[in-house]
Amino acid sequence: MTATIRPVKGTRDYYPEDMALRAWLYDQMRHVSELFGYQEYQAPILEPIGLYAAKSGDELVEKQSYVFEDRGGDRITLRPELTPSLARMVAQRQNQLAFPLRWWSFGPFWRYERPQKGRTREFFQWNIDLIGDPSPEAEAEIVAIAAAFFKQVGLRSDEVQIRVNDRRLLAKELESIGIPEQARTPLLGLIDRKDKLSPEAWILQTKDIGLANAQIDSLNELLANKELWRGSESLERFFQAIEAFGASEYVVFEPSIIRGLQYYTGTVFEAWDTAGEFRALFGGGRYDNLVSDVGGKPVEAVGFAVGDLVITLLLQSLGRLPELAKSPTDVFVTLFDVSLRDKSFAIMNALREAGIRVAGQLTSEKLGKQFKYADRIGAKLAVILGPDEAAKGKVGFKVLATGEQGECTESEMIAKVRQLLEA
């Protein structure tokens, strides 16, 4: 064990059963994306460091990105997020794309930080964006997609919740209670962390920023007001559309949702498990400046990102993981001995040409072991060709789940196998 080379810190090996689960999640993401008419795309995993310098959080770029020099001396980053790459792709073909764009992607990302529960250094993420539509209805569509995804994977609205806010609304409200401009940015960061702080620490830290007692009271009142959105035309329209899209049971207004990324310009949202056991399931919002920041003409955009890991942990803790096949094997073809090898191989071939998924014994082994193997890999059916069957021009079969056994002629085999697999 000491001799094996360790995996890179924060990476995760996906053994076949883990991979089957990730592939299943990917399928659900694809399904929901396509239900809303979104197209899949892929961006490079390597990007120049400069792409992120513009607008991501400072800490993200300076401390949490994997950066190295390639052989030509260029500074390369393992992408820590997708949105800047998307912005570049849009900017590069801005004049030939059919707006609004409905695009989605799934792939690996890297972030150099201490791994912990629900977080690794290499992780996989689903990104989905609607680009070129400034309306609150566009935001509602994106949030409705998130709700549809939860339904698709079997998470109910009493288990997960999408919390929505609008940074513009909050900025206006902070101004109205007399919070000076220079205090607003640090205050927003503090509000974002409020539920992690004790009430005492919260008051202490708001005072540090320079708020008076009366202002803290107003602020607390503001953050407790779940009806605050009714003052905002865009949020009114947003919630009306959410209702019409059938997503309202999953969506609530929450004035303390801010999000850390600097590039969000308006609506922001996060999804959480209602039990509060895990970190955010996904986060997103409106980012209208990003395309122009990478050199394009200004385009409005809204989107979100979901990691595979927290969703998986949540489904697991709720006992909601799907039962996936152990392997794609439908049929296991046994091998009696060397004299029947070619004939057994020909049977494997015939079944495969009929589109049936077959694994088969390649070298001589006791039949008992072959059946055990067939069982362990989850084959539904075993096909047996021994001297007795061969003498009669027949093949034997066995349904592994029930032990039911029988024979049929070689010419009947494919039809028989198909029939047994469907049962």
Binding site for RNA (CB under 7 A): 1-2, 6, 9-10, 56-57, 59-60, 64, 80-83, 109-111, 113-119, 123, 127, 189, 192-193, 196, 259-261, 279-280, 283-284, 305, 336, 366-369, 371-372, 375-376, 382, 384, 386-389, 396, 398, 400-403, 405
Least Cβ distance, residue 311 to RNA (angstroms) = 14
Closer CB to RNA, 127 or 218, in the complex: 127
Closer CB to RNA, 124 or 238, in the complex: 124
Question: Phi/psi of residue 414, each to 5°?
Answer: -65, -45
CA-based nearest residue to 272, from 195, 343, 335: 195
Least Cβ distance, residue 182 to RNA (angstroms) = 18
Q: The sheet that has 39-40: what strands, in order across it?
A: 39-40, 101-110, 122-131, 301-307, 282-286, 267-273, 160-166, 251-253
Q: Report the DSSP pairing between strands 101-110 and 39-40.
A: parallel
Least Cβ distance, residue 235 to RNA (angstroms) = 20
Q: Which residues contact 324 (CB under 8 A, 6 or more apart)?
A: 17, 20, 21, 24
Helix (H) or strand (E) holding 285: strand 282-286
Distance CA 419, CA 413 (A): 10
Least Cβ distance, residue 116 to RNA (angstroms) = 4
Least Cβ distance, residue 270 to RNA (angstroms) = 7
Closer CB to RNA, 138 or 385, in the complex: 385
- What single-letter amino acid sits at 85? S
Q: Report the DSSP pairing between strands 66-69 and 75-78.
A: antiparallel
Rg for the chain, CA atoms, rounded: 28
Closer CB to RNA, 59 or 243, in the complex: 59
Closer CB to RNA, 134 or 186, in the complex: 186
Closer CB to RNA, 6 or 71, in the complex: 6
Helix (H) or strand (E) holding 304: strand 301-307
Least Cβ distance, residue 166 to RNA (angstroms) = 15
Distance CA 214, CA 258 (A): 23
Q: What's the gap between Cα 86 and its chain centre? A: 17
Closer CB to RNA, 230 or 376, in the complex: 376
Is the Cβ–Cβ distance between 143 and 251 less than 8 Å? yes
Least Cβ distance, residue 240 to RNA (angstroms) = 26
Q: Which residues contact 2 (CB under 8 A, 6 or more apart)?
A: none
Closer CB to RNA, 218 or 334, in the complex: 334
Which one-letter DSSP state was computed for residue 375? H
In this structure, the number of other CB atoms found within 10 A of the CB of residue 264 comes to: 22
Least Cβ distance, residue 109 to RNA (angstroms) = 6
Closer CB to RNA, 32 or 87, in the complex: 87
Closer CB to RNA, 33 or 218, in the complex: 33
Least Cβ distance, residue 396 to RNA (angstroms) = 5
Least Cβ distance, residue 224 to RNA (angstroms) = 21
CA distances from 34 to 97, 105, 217, 311 (A): 19, 12, 47, 20
